[in-house]
Amino acid sequence: MLTSMKIVTAEEAVKVIKTNDRVHIHAIGCAPQKLIQAMCERGRRKEFKNVRLQHLHTEGPAPYTAPEFEGVFLLESFFAGANVRKDTQAGYADYIPGFLQDTQRLIREGYCRPNVALIQTTPPDKHGFVSLGCSVDATLAAIETADTVIATINPRMPRSFGDALIPMDMIDIFTEDDAPLIEGHFAEPSPEEAQIGKYVAELIEDGATLQMGIGSIPNAVLSQLNNHKNLGIHTEMFADGVLNLVRKGIINGKNKAIDRGKIVSTFVMGSKEVYDFLDDNPGVAMMDVGYTNNEFIIAKNPKVTAINSALQIDLTGQVCADSLGTKFYSGVGGQVDFVRGASLSPGGKAIIAMQSVTNKGISKIAPVLANGAGVVTTRAHVQWIVTEYGAVNLYGKTMQERAKMLISIAHPDHREELDRAAFERFGPHFHFVG
């Protein structure tokens, strides 16, 4: 099938990019590095200017945010990952806040429609379909709406199913690469994270449908589920942590009301082992983010248990998850999508799990959010909060009850200070609450 396609070099392919274009870049490990490098070379030669780049979180190099490209590129990411965080905070790149489920809508409805989409796919199969592999998310919307779609064909890309399969005629220009996909690796859970994992695992019921975000805490939770039964997955992403539970039959999707028996996700981030698991696996449906993160679809499954994290929580339960004060650190992501979906699910639970302090010993439970911090999950949405000191459910609780409960799971070194702040805020009757 490759012989029937016109294959050009990456340098030739990116010649379609012109001044004032918006370019969408495939997410996670699918970011087509050869095309990115060729585009940046054109940028260094000042062959265009004011090109807006758009992506969700990507792994690997993101050279286009470097100061040398000021006036040439401006990244407008939906999630400021580690590879673009410093330059975003310095103003060389920018950030578009939005619920993850809405990223495809912003593209399809024209708010952020790209002129060019840079993607990476599998080789075509005998029916003329290629797969978007480990990243569908909002990239499918970009493919549908872009004037020109440039695809790097890579035999190392896992062939996934669901919305990931697209016909070749949706692609305008083809290039080739056989470089390994960039992998995402997570540190082993710390003792504190392992304890958080135990508390969260106690909240997960047999037959639950799980959503988990990125990082070592989700992996710590998964490692504690070896005695659970009939768990399902409907999530925005998964990584290596699910593999052992799938092999043991603990994750089998038998109790799901929709997509029964299937792991549903919109992107996959992890090691080569998880990419190999995804390859040609009919048990995984890689779907458009408008499906995976739609709260009404999420809520159709029973006992949806959503596990996300936070950078800071105030004493009323407001959750900041995208910024450190005025500095953007990540993004809204899918937290609100799944908090809401889990809340609407029969028997569902929305959990925010985090260590009680930062690596500098600063309490993440604070009297008020830091100046400029953004509220991602509101005090009206929040349910369970878990630290290494316990789990509390704020849902339906008064402000003073919430403060008491949050102080009880704060780091002991900070409880007196938090108690004093609550006393000053709520008055002397605060000590008689609860």
Residues taking part in catalysis: 236
Beta bridge partners, 118, equal 25, 150
Q: Whose CA is closest to 30, among 270, 242, 215?
A: 270
Count of residues for the chain? Answer: 434
Residue 251 and residue 260 in contact, taking contact as beta carbons nearer than 8 Å: no
Q: In this structure, are strands 390-393 and 384-387 parallel, antiparallel, or unpaired?
A: antiparallel
In whole angstroms, what is the distance from residue 230 CA to residue 359 CA?
36
Structural tokens at position 373 = 């911090």
Rounded alpha-carbon distances, angstroms, from residue 30 to 33, 68, 98, 115, 390: 8, 25, 22, 19, 38
Structural tokens at position 268 = 């996959």
Q: Where are the beta strands (DSSP E) in 230-381?
A: 232-233, 237-238, 263-265, 267-268, 284-286, 304-308, 312-314, 319-320, 323-324, 327-328, 349-353, 365-366
In whole angstroms, what is the distance from residue 236 CA to residue 233 CA?
10
Q: In this structure, are strands 319-320 and 312-314 parallel, antiparallel, or unpaired?
A: antiparallel
Structural tokens at position 410 = 């704060």
As a whole number of Å, the end-to-end CA separation of the chain is 69
Q: Whose CA is closest to 88, among 326, 332, 312, 327?
A: 327
Structural tokens at position 155 = 């035999």
**Sequence-ordered list of residues with C-beta below 8 angstroms from that of 135, at least 6 positions apart, any chain:** 26, 27, 28, 29, 30, 266, 267, 268
Looking up tokens 């739609």 gives 294
Angle among Cα 135, 140, 144 to the nearest 5 degrees reads 160
8-state DSSP, 67: G
In whole angstroms, what is the distance from residue 78 CA to residue 57 CA?
7
Looking up tokens 């990125």 gives 214
Q: Whose CA is closest to 385, among 400, 364, 369, 362?
A: 364
Angle among Cα 383, 265, 63 to the nearest 5 degrees reads 100
